[in-house]
Amino acid sequence: MMKRDRHWLLEIVFLIVLVIAGQSVDFSLELLLRRGVRFFDIASAMVPPDASYAAVVVRPLWATIQMSLIGTVAGAAMGMAGALFADSYVNACGWLRIPFKGVVNLIRTIPALILALICTFLVGLGALAGTIAITLYTFVVMTRMGYEDMENTPLATATALEVTGCGRFRAFARTVLPTMLPSYLTNVLYLLEANVRHAAILGYVGAGGIGILLNERIAWREYSQVGMILLMLYGVVILAEGSSEVLRRVLDGTYRLRRSQAVLLFVIIAALVMSSVGTLQWPDRGGSGFAAAASIADGLIHPDWSMILSTAHDGVPYLLYETFCIALLGTVGGTAIAAWFSFTASFRLLPWPLALVSRLFLMLVRTIPVFVYGLMCIRVTGPGPFAGVLTLTLCSVGLLAKRFLLAIDDIDLAPFQAYRAMGTPYIACLRYALWPQLYSRFAAAILYRMDVNLRDAAILGLVGAGGIGTPLILAMMHYSWAEAGALLWGLVVMVAGLEMISEGIRKSRRRDEYRD
């Protein structure tokens, strides 16, 4: 009884928070209805795409794919080593392991775009900076996922081998590694898809790939050429998702490769990666990279405390609050849209042609880079945080719908049918037979997306859509490292803090499940 009452209270509090957040970001339904059509201004200018422009796009697009490919492969390999180093069974030195985990999790809170921007200061403009950023990003994400998988794998078998006198590392390599490797590689494939999309943005800060071209064409308002770029990017995303789907089948064992096929696959991947490495140009900037590194480090060590403590609208606390509001409302909006599309895109619930249409639409929604959405939304609302909310709403749809869809595909329909057979009303069946199965997975997806949105909110600054991103990127571009340090620390602390809270919620929920 007590517990139910508290739930009810929580919902009220959540609604109040939403309303306050809405006020803070100048949310206005009236504006949305009045000017909503302007959203399609840019979209309609992109149609028809300028087909003759394709020839120009091919090279930078290929460079983008190469960047994400090397970055993912190198980052995944390093991530495995990192995960081993962070594992308490393999590495018994806690004083090495725990600081390492701390650094990995700190870097994880920094958006990939900001990493890329930092890299451009260190190694100069170009694809190398982007590649390093993607590698670093993949490394920290995979290290984290890897050591979590390792910690969740039982050690009984490893211990059984260890006592045959072969040492811990050998025992670990033959027991825990084969158990966790398939899920590790599956995560790498997911990350590869995400990295292709990330790589397309990095050009915005001069870190190579298609983004440079995209940025330039948008600045010139050549929207039919922008349309062509996005169309080709859409093709690449479909290709990437298709091939990673095939590889996932191989990993989970539904599709078995013959030895010759496996060798062929390995050779193809190796050749792609090698050829990509060959195209990278190494910097010859002498000592300037080190000088930049020194000033960045100095800014991080001595952040501008007056900004951190200021309560004005350009102080760190207010900017963080605004970013949080944007991310929260964006997540809520995205959840609403994604919930609808995940049901209409499920092959289990709808006839396949209808579901396929929804799926292709979802993929299209996911292809369009964040800042293109940003520009489209700014047409509606003008620069400011409300544009950021709309942008993140649209960006959240892709990932949330995909996770929701996976959850829907996994549900067990037997209880639903049993309730129907008992003559229970349809809505009640949904509520009591299906919703309990979906609830926790939906919640996990939403929490995860909230975490991503906090970081993505920093990207919105690029197009002037509010939040901490605008001042952060401006400060970095002007080499004001003390300011940038203050803003970056603020972002890191907020993302890390919210992650700890969501982790805490997840753990307490898990305990509740056990107790029930």
Partner 1 sequence: MLELKHVYQQYNKTPVLTDITLQVPKGQFVSIIGPSGAGKTTLLRLFNYMVRPTQGEVWVAGQRLDTLMGRKRRCSQRRVGMIFQDFCLVEESTCLQNVLNGSLADMPIWRVLTGSFPKTKQAQALQALDQVGLADKAYCQARSLSGGQKQRVAIARTLMQNADVVLADEPVASLDPVTARQILGLLRKLQQEKNLTIVMNSHHVEQAKEFSDRIIGLKAGKIMADHPAQDWQPKELDALYRGEQHDET
Q: Which residues bind partner 1 (CB under 8 A)?
A: 156-157, 159-161, 163-167, 169-171, 173-175, 178-179, 182
Residue 234 CB-density burial (10 A; 0-12 exposed, 13-18 middle, 19+ buried): middle
Least Å distance, CB 166 to partner 1, is 4
Supply 266's token pair.
């390995």
CB nearer partner 1, residue 176 or residue 460: 176
Least Å distance, CB 167 to partner 1, is 7
Least Å distance, CB 185 to partner 1, is 13
Residue 281: strand, helix, or coil = coil
CB nearer partner 1, residue 178 or residue 497: 178
CB nearer partner 1, residue 182 or residue 283: 182
Least Å distance, CB 168 to partner 1, is 11
What lies within 8 Å, CB to CB, of 98 at 6+ separation is: none
Supply 244's token pair.
């990673």
CB nearer partner 1, residue 167 or residue 235: 167
CB nearer partner 1, residue 169 or residue 435: 169
Q: At what angle do helices 385-410 and 435-456 cross, to 10 degrees?
A: 150
ω before 48 within 30° of 0 (cis)?
yes
Least Å distance, CB 173 to partner 1, is 5
CB nearer partner 1, residue 88 or residue 179: 179
Q: Within a 10 A sphere around the Cβ of 501, how many other Cβ atoms?
A: 11
- Extract long-range pairs of 279-284: CB within 8 Å, 24+ residues apart: 279/63, 279/66, 279/127, 280/70, 280/127, 280/128, 280/131, 281/126, 281/127, 281/128, 282/128, 283/123, 283/124, 283/128
Read off φ and ψ for residue 340, nearest 5 degrees.
Answer: -60, -50
CB nearer partner 1, residue 269 or residue 297: 269
Least Å distance, CB 179 to partner 1, is 5
Least Å distance, CB 260 to partner 1, is 18
Cα–Cα distance list, 268 to 98, 271, 297 (Å):
38, 5, 40
